[in-house]
Amino acid sequence: MNVKTKFKSSLFALCSCLYLTACSSSNGVDEVTVDSVSLRWNNYFRAYNNTTGVVDPLADLRIYQVMVESFQNGDDTINYNVGYGPSDHKGDLQGIINAIPYIKSLGMNAIWLTPIFESAKENDSNPSMLDATGYYTRDYYKVDRRFGDEQKLKQLVDTAHANGLYVFLDGVFGHFRSDLNNTSPKGNKVTITQKCLGCDLTYYRPPEHTSCADFDDKGQSLKYMKEVATYYVENFKIDGWRLDQAYQVPLKDLHEIKTAVEEISSKVTYTNAKGEIVHPLAYLVAEIWASNPVIAKTAYGYKKDEGLDSAFDFGMRYPIVQALATEEWMKADHSGFRLAEGLAYNENNLPRHALPNLMITNHDLLRFGDLIQRAGLQDTYNERVILALSYLAIVHSGPITNYYGEEIGQEVPNYANRVETMGLNSSCNKSINCL
């Protein structure tokens, strides 16, 4: 598969420009180019740097991110009805199952689910926003009843596989609710601490109702989290994990989790859409909301046997939105200089095994449509959405993540006028350039 083949098979087949350049200045779109950068197809572009024509399956991922509680209602008998995002907040696993044909039709080949673990109390009729979105887990071995159950998760994974889609779960292994079920089925336990490793590599005190795993406890917490990571591969045949706030887990432990997932994946099989017996993909991608030098240090390491292969490319996401709209803090650079700078950095400075995963937005960021609105560029809304998605499709040849609704240029009504932004006032964001 070459670049053109991938491009044509993807939902992002929207514009034929190789470089991020507006087609005409007459339509009011600022001209943005990155043609000063030589795209040498070195290791950074390893998806198609193979003379045999064999595509790296990790580099060829086109992931559709679904926020479970706010995506689609498939079962009226269960729902959170609380959270954030452009929905009625009644999302569940059945709703995702119902949407699999649509996701497949977009040319996607993977689904990433935000956390599905039990996070609300049994008698809690009004869970908090972060409980509703699953980011404060109470029990890693139970599916939250407001999303469905274990059988429904298995049905989702099996249906996705039958339609040619990988399935990734969201592993929140660094922090959880203070009332966590602290013992695994094999008897492993988390050593709980009230201190969490922050993105500035210092410790900070989390909210009162959360606690964190102490990974400096002679391996006890690591054993627990490795068991969680392998349990869902072995019992549900998932294809890997997105690792939330991966900086909370030491680099060496990230590598051990990765190795454990790879080992169990080599022993598990399922039948894919082609009727082939295959192993789970064993893809792990780190979320470290930081500059690329920090990501390189805390996610990749500088040797393949130190950390992970993949992390979200925040270092390129921000230049993209600055070039075509504005970022959350009204910073823009419509010259496209930062795009060229970001490409050059990744090409020349990331370790050879690094496989950046590029996105325009996610559940923690404003939708791209809202950034266009915030920048006052509504007159060229569609053109800018097309250019942003085209950048993912053509310039970047590694794994891509699309947040649900971005494929149609979705926005949250009136959200562009909000002043507050997640993390804006945190000491972390003020102390180092976490973005």
Least confident of 104-118, 203-217, 367-381, 396-410: 203-217
The whole-number average pLDDT for the span 130-150 is 94
pLDDT in the model for residue 193: 85
Residues whose CB falls within 8 Å of the CB of residue 365, separated by 6 or more in sequence, listed in order: 317, 328, 422
The residue among 434 and 32 whose pLDDT is bigger is: 32
Structural domain boundaries in the chain: 3-431
Query: What are 31-59's pLDDT values in tens digits?
Result: 444 333 333 333 444 444 444 566 788 98
Averaged pLDDT for residues 207-229:
91
* Residue matched to tokens 């020349």: 348
The set of long-range contacts for 201-207, using a CB threshold of 8 Å and a minimum separation of 24, is 201/247, 201/298, 204/427, 204/428, 206/175
* CA-based torsion, 42, 44, 45, 48: positive or negative: positive
CATH fold group of domain 3-431: TIM Barrel (3.20.20)
| pTM of this structure | 0.86
Residue type, 39: L
pLDDT range class, residue 210, cuts 50, 70, 90: confident
pLDDT in the model for residue 339: 87
Residue 377 has pLDDT above 80, yes or no: yes
Whose tokens are 């947040």? That residue is 403
- pLDDT given at position 417: 66
Amino acid at the residue 72: Q
pLDDT greater than 90 at residue 128: no
pLDDT score at 52: 56
Average pLDDT, integer, range 308-322: 94
What gap in Å lies between CA 177 and CA 199, rounded to an integer? 20
Q: Which residues pair with 207 in a beta bridge?
A: none
Instruction: Give the pLDDT confidence score for residue 349 in this predicted structure.
Output: 85
Q: Of the spans 27-31, 342-346, 377-381, which averages the highest pLDDT?
A: 377-381
Tokens standing for residue 418: 């909000």
- If pLDDT is split at 50, 70 and 90, which confidence band does 80 have? confident
Strands 192-193 and 210-213: antiparallel
Q: pLDDT per residue over 6-20, tens digit each?
A: 333 333 333 333 333
Per-position b or e across 137-151, b if 16+ CB within 10 A of its CB: bbbbbebbebbbeee
Query: Across the chain, what does the average pLDDT equal?
Result: 82
Q: What region, left, alpha or beta, does residue 245 occupy, with left being phi > 0 and alpha being psi -120 to 50 degrees?
A: left
- Mean pLDDT value across residues 330-352: 86
pLDDT at 269 over 60: yes
The winner for highest mean pLDDT among 179-183, 278-282, 303-307, 374-378 is 278-282
Residue-level pLDDT at 356: 94
